[in-house]
């Protein structure tokens, strides 16, 4: 669907600023990502490649590539799995977390770095948490002392923050009024020392912003409260120790979907649910894992992803489709990259709000964008900007 254009003066200004510029190559063509994987020899090349696929907006390829580096097997449901589902009530995870967070002071939620679905879910919590008094958002991935002077991240704000849904998370947090703070340990810290320094950095921020309510978004096992092999305690456990505040910890990673449905946990596909959920037993206690020790307060189950025109439905939610006009496609050899920037962010090295790669003039995916003004940028395989247009994207 075509968008209504802004006044001609603004259109020409934006076009002149964009046309011919060569932007950062953090957002690579799919063929270039695969070529880098093929020639790389490091053990973690598939994990790195998967992250680069998320930067390029290709969720399915990210899952597939991650699983190449982390071999999976077919998951056979156990009797315990069936018993848990049979005896549980399913509740919308967002609603449960926002309601429970009213009586909490620190909420810690994790992500798998190759799965932007987790960032989308954290973003869905922001408005409700803000209404409940949360004003501070700590991001492990951010390294940007100027982030609070803007409403957006730039391509220099961090590494994982180059992924569009991470950029959207930061933009929405700043637009709501959250103060974002960084807490990552120094580059020379790893293992136990890293967990300690992360917790100490959060504690120091809390001391300088007392009596606040804090949302912490971290990676993988940093959300764990109990002992972890090699670390003793992870960041969340250390923070609990240092502050004497029991954080509300949320694990999104335990039931992360795989590239093949058969490799995913039974809970992901067994219920028919479409929204993330938590499981409550007959005593209203929330499921937080089968194995001991129970490392977090709750576990969020993300159902298997459904797709609309090749794009994940969780990515499309709350957004409107925009399809590049065919007259634009006729002008340029394919493939091309199409990147949508909030109109005031492109010239300031911002993160695209969405990105697709087009290989066919007849069949190609839509961008999915929230209401706002966007600069749509087209790039060729040499990463040169070859065309652009301004889109006024209304509800």
What tokens appear for 4 in the block?
């209504």
Give dist(CA 37, CA 28) in Å, integer.
13
Residues 340 and 369 in one domain: yes
10 Å Cβ neighbour count for 227? 12
Residues 300 and 209 in one domain: yes
Residue 93, domain CATH: 3.40.50.11550
Tell me, yes or no, whether 85 lies in a domain: yes
Tell me, yes or no, whether 59 lies in a domain: no
| Contacts made by residues 228-235, CB under 8 angstroms, sequence distance 24+ | 228/295, 230/191, 230/192, 231/191, 231/192, 231/195, 232/192, 232/195, 233/195, 234/195, 235/108, 235/195, 235/198, 235/199, 235/202
6, 14, 41, 168 from 35: Cα distances, Å: 39, 33, 12, 28
10 Å Cβ neighbour count for 116? 26
* CA dihedral (254, 258, 264, 270) positive or negative: positive
Tell me, yes or no, whether 39 lies in a domain: no
Number of domains in the chain: 2
pLDDT value, residue 7: 38
Residues 271 and 186 in one domain: yes
pLDDT tops 70 at residue 120: yes
Residues 11 and 112 in one domain: no
Tell me, yes or no, whether 69 lies in a domain: no
Residues 141 and 244 in one domain: yes
Tell me, yes or no, whether 155 lies in a domain: yes
pLDDT value, residue 72: 81
Strand partners, 367: 322
Percent of the chain at pLDDT exceeding 70? 93
pLDDT tops 80 at residue 270: yes
Q: Which structural domain range is residue 2 located in?
A: 1-31+320-395
- Among 307, 336, 360, where does a domain finish? 307
- Among 265, 285, 307, where does a domain finish? 307
pLDDT value, residue 139: 98
Give dist(CA 187, CA 184) in Å, integer.
9
10 Å Cβ neighbour count for 348? 12
Residues 276 and 328 in one domain: no
Residues 107 and 254 in one domain: yes
Per-residue model confidence as pLDDT tens digits over 73-118 = 889 999 999 999 999 999 999 999 999 999 999 999 999 999 999 9
pLDDT tops 70 at residue 277: yes
pLDDT tops 80 at residue 20: no
Higher pLDDT, 308 or 2: 308
Tell me, yes or no, whether 60 lies in a domain: no
Residues 164 and 296 in one domain: yes
What would the mean pLDDT of 376-387 be, rounded to a whole number?
97
- Among 264, 282, 307, where does a domain finish? 307
pLDDT tops 50 at residue 23: no
Average pLDDT, the chain: 92
Q: What angle do CA 263, 265, 270 make, to 5 degrees?
A: 110
Q: Quick check: 119 and 111 in contact, CB under 8 A?
A: yes
Tell me, yes or no, whether 181 lies in a domain: yes
Per-residue model confidence as pLDDT tens digits over 122-134 = 999 999 999 999 9
Residues 145 and 182 in one domain: yes
pLDDT value, residue 24: 52
Tell me, yes or no, whether 27 lies in a domain: yes
Residues 152 and 254 in one domain: yes
Q: What is the DSSP letter of 330?
A: T
pLDDT tops 50 at residue 8: no
What would the mean pLDDT of 336-362 be, rounded to a whole number?
96
Reported confidence tier of residue 22, pLDDT bands at 50, 70, 90: very low
Residues 274 and 336 in one domain: no
**In 3D, which of 145, 132, 221, 148 has the Cα closest to residue 183?**
145
SS3 state at 351: coil
pLDDT value, residue 292: 85
Residues 272 and 126 in one domain: yes
pLDDT value, residue 220: 97
Per-residue model confidence as pLDDT tens digits over 144-182 = 999 999 999 999 999 999 999 999 999 999 999 999 999
pLDDT tops 60 at residue 305: yes
């Amino acid at each position: 669907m075509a968008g209504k254009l802004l006044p001609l003066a603004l259109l020409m200004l934006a076009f002149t600023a964009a046309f011919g510029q060569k932007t950062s190559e953090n957002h690579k063509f799919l063929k270039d990502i695969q070529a880098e994987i093929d020639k790389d020899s490091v053990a973690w090349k598939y994990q790195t490649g998967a992250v680069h696929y998320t930067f390029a907006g290709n969720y399915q390829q990210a899952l597939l590539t991650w699983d190449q580096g982390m071999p999976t097997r077919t998951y056979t449901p156990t009797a315990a799995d069936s018993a848990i589902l049979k005896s549980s009530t399913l509740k919308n995870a967002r609603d449960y977390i926002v309601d429970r967070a009213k009586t909490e002071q620190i909420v810690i939620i994790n992500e798998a770095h190759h799965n932007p679905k987790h960032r989308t879910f954290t973003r869905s919590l922001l408005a409700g948490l803000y209404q409940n008094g949360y004003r501070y958002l700590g991001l492990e991935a951010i390294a940007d002392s100027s982030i609070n002077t803007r409403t957006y991240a730039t391509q220099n704000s961090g590494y994982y923050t180059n992924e569009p849904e991470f950029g959207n998370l930061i933009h929405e947090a700043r637009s709501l009024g959250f103060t974002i703070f960084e807490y990552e340990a120094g580059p020379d810290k790893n293992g136990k020392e890293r967990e300690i320094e992360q917790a100490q950095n959060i504690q120091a921020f809390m001391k300088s912003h007392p009596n606040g309510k804090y949302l912490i978004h971290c990676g993988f096992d940093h959300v764990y409260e109990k002992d972890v092999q090699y670390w003793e305690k992870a960041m969340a456990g250390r923070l609990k120790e240092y502050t004497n505040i029991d954080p509300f910890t949320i694990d999104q990673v335990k039931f992360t979907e795989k590239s093949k449905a058969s490799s995913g946990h039974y809970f992901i596909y067994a219920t028919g649910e479409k929204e993330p959920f938590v499981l409550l037993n007959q005593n209203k206690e929330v499921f937080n894992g089968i194995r001991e020790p129970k490392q977090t307060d709750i576990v969020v189950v993300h159902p298997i992803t459904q797709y609309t025109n090749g794009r994940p439905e969780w990515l499309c939610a709350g957004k409107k489709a925009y399809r590049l006009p065919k007259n634009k496609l006729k002008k340029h050899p394919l493939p091309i990259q199409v990147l949508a920037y909030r109109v005031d962010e492109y010239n300031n090295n911002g993160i695209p709000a969405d990105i697709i790669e087009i290989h066919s003039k007849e069949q190609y995916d839509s961008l999915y964008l929230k209401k706002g003004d966007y600069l749509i940028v087209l790039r060729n395989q040499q990463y040169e900007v070859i065309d652009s247009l301004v889109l006024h994207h209304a509800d």
